[in-house]
Amino acid sequence: MKYCIFVPFTVLMMAACGGNDQSAGTAPVPVPFEGAPENARQVVGIGRVEPEQDIINLATQDGGVVRRLLIREGDRVKAGAVVLELEKSVAEARLPQIRARAATQQTQVAADEKTAAEAETRLVNLQKNLARIQDLFNKNVETAQNRDNAQFEVQNQQAAVERLRAATRVSRSRLEEFKNELAVAERELALKTVKAPVDGRMLSVSTQVGNALPPQSGFAELAPDGRTIVRCEVDELLADRVLPGQKAIIRTIGAGNTLAAGEVIYAAPLLKKKSLFAETPGEKEDRRVREVKILLHDPKNLLLNARVECVIDL
């Protein structure tokens, strides 16, 4: 974007006649230059119509063959709605098997816990009996043989309780393994389904039923519901004068007819290289631009991704 200050022809002629004679008292005449004139009231840039929230590229996390495609271009979708399903018969078949093994193991854990509890109750009773016999032995009423037999029973029962407790821990550990396996299988099955992350409108769909999609493969673009903006690029010559709150109009490139009105809601804090959509013939390649976002008041006549001309009042 070039701005030039033009000096009247008569003044230039006077300067030329004066030559280098400084004694004549003629002041040097400024030459035309490129710059940002202080009296500029508007700045023009090229922009693109976009949703305020960026367009979302829907993709599969897992790979597979498309079994169901529930969207078409232009469809409106709600957050959480299923938009695509991959072939998942194998993943679905695994779940009942894992659930059955987990249920069986849950039964085993319950049985082991009951057995261990019964053994602990018997141990308590044997310990009470040993204490009674020991008391009688101390009073010379009970024989040493009976005391030794009671001690032996307590020791055997203690060992049995420890074995049963260990078996219960193993059973619980195996149950946790089955639960984790089930969670993984359910997650793998869920990855075969793609849902809309937000409310919006489908802009494009690039697959169909029967197509094979690799993992992390994009297949559709979703424009989130919400406000519409124009992402515009302003040349560095006047970039520092663009501020949030300034009014703007959106025009057709080259035609000049007004399409919409809006307001600047964002001006980037740095300059960057000019993007491809803003390049026009004749512009210097080393120019920098400032990204500006203009919120549109009535964007109903504008198509998303349309290239437009932005005129911002300074």
Q: For the chain (length 314 residues), average pLDDT per consecutive 10? A: 38 37 41 54 91 93 95 95 95 94 96 96 96 93 93 96 96 96 95 95 94 94 94 90 93 86 93 66 68 91 89 92
- In what order do the strands lie in the sheet containing 212-213? 193-195, 82-86, 64-69, 212-213
What predicted TM-score, i.e. pTM, was given to this entire model?
0.65
pLDDT score for 193: 95
- CA separation (Å) from 210 to 55, 59, 64, 69? 26, 16, 10, 10
Residue 256's pLDDT is what? 76
CATH topology of domain 56-84+193-224: OB fold (Dihydrolipoamide Acetyltransferase, E2P) (2.40.50)
Q: What's the fold here for domain 36-52+227-313? A: Elongation Factor Tu (Ef-tu); domain 3 (2.40.30)
Strand ranges, E, within 214-306: 217-224, 228-235, 247-251, 258-273, 288-296
Q: Answer yes or no: are the C-beta atoms of 274 and 291 closer than 8 Å.
A: no
pLDDT at res. 227:
93
Token readout for 16 is: 């030329």
Beta 193-195 vs 42-51: how paired, if at all?
A: unpaired
Helix (H) or strand (E) holding 84: strand 82-86
Distances in whole angstroms, Cα of residue 185 to Cα of each of 91, 100, 130, 181, 255: 7, 13, 53, 6, 58
Number of neighbouring beta carbons within 10 Å of residue 245: 7
What pLDDT does 194 receive? 96
DSSP letters of 15-66? HHHHTT-GGG-PPPPPPP-B---TT--EEEEEEEEEESSPPEEEEESS-EEE
Burial class for 210, CB neighbours closer than 10 Å (0-12, 13-18, 19+): exposed
The H-assigned helical ranges of 42-143 are: 89-138
Residue at token pair 């008292």? 25
* Residues 180/121, Cβ–Cβ less than 8 Å: no
